Amino acid sequence: FSGNDCDSNPCQNGGLCRISASDGEGYRCECSVGTTGTNCEIDSLDECASNPCEHPDAVCQDKLGDYVCYCPPKHNGKNCEVLDHSFPGGIGYPNSEKEEKNTYYAKDLEIQRKQCTINNCRLKKGNGRCDEECNTYACDFDGNDCSLGINPWANCTAPIKCWEVFMDGICNLDCNNPQCLFDGRDCEISLQPCNPIYDGYCKKHYANGHCDYGCNNAEC
């Protein structure tokens, strides 16, 4: 094809250049999906038409072969689907660390549900007897047999499903309240050891009626 009209790569956006079959002169572009025009230079598909941005306050901007979501504060991700208290708002981007953790917990939940099947938890559910091996979220908490028929999250009104992130090692502020069981204490701050310089002194002088400023902290 040396010296033909396709040598200049006229087809844009991934279009495939073809030499005219009639006389070998001229060319035509076979455009990829979402583009059209003589050189595939026109965006013919509105990727925002399907409303991919999941948050009602998000704004979708159509791009050639793609789209971006302008997300409100605290909502991150390609489609604003990730609750992220540190996100100030703007174009959402995938949070790979959270996605990896979500994938891990999804796989763990799948393993637990298989264990529910092995333990015949579906048949044991609601039999009026607490079957400890079935008293998990994956096994529907043994049909509430272990909690006297009480759903522990009945009064939880958080915008996310707190029982799915309960004790997952990540602090979910929306769940950090009595009604949502304090997110399984995921938001508690682990205390560092008392300063070794003061440790022995503070133990010896604990509750002696005097305020020692070196000991006046949670760690000591």
Please tell me the predicted confidence (pLDDT) of residue 97. 47
CATH number for the domain harbouring residue 156: 4.10.470.20
Task: State how many domains the chain has.
Answer: 5
Residues 127 and 138 in one domain: yes
Give the residue, 103 or 216, on which the prediction is more confident. 216
Please tell me the predicted confidence (pLDDT) of residue 149. 53
Please spell the DSSP secondary structure of 113-178, one letter per residue: HHHHHHTTHHHHTTSSS--GGG-STTTGGGGGTTTTT--TTTT---SS-GGGSTTSSS--GGG-SG
Please tell me the predicted confidence (pLDDT) of residue 192. 65
Domain hosting residue 214, numbered range? 192-220
Report the pLDDT averaged over residues 76-82.
88
Strands 66-71 and 59-63: antiparallel
Identify the bridge partners of residue 17 per DSSP, sorted by sequence position: 29
Please tell me the predicted confidence (pLDDT) of residue 105. 63
CATH number for the domain harbouring residue 90: 2.10.25.10
Q: Judge whether residue 127 has pLDDT over 90.
A: no
- Which residue matches tokens 């790979």? 96
Q: Judge whether residue 170 has pLDDT over 90.
A: no
Residues 160 and 181 in one domain: yes
Report the pLDDT averaged over residues 119-140.
82
Report the pLDDT averaged over residues 114-133.
84
Report the pLDDT averaged over residues 25-50.
85
CB burial of residue 170 (10 Å; 0-12, 13-18, 19+):
middle
pLDDT class of 2 with cuts at 50, 70, 90:
very low
CB of 53 closer than 8 Å to CB of 59: yes
The whole-model pTM stands at 0.37
Please tell me the least confidently modeled range out of 4-13, 28-37, 104-113: 104-113
Give the residue, 43 or 145, on which the prediction is more confident. 43
Q: Judge whether residue 94 has pLDDT over 80.
A: no
Report the pLDDT averaged over residues 200-220.
73
Cα–Cα distance between 44 and 38 in angstroms, integer? 13
Residues 90 and 101 in one domain: no
Q: Judge whether residue 59 has pLDDT over 90.
A: yes
pLDDT class of 58 with cuts at 50, 70, 90:
very high
Polymer length in residues for the chain: 220
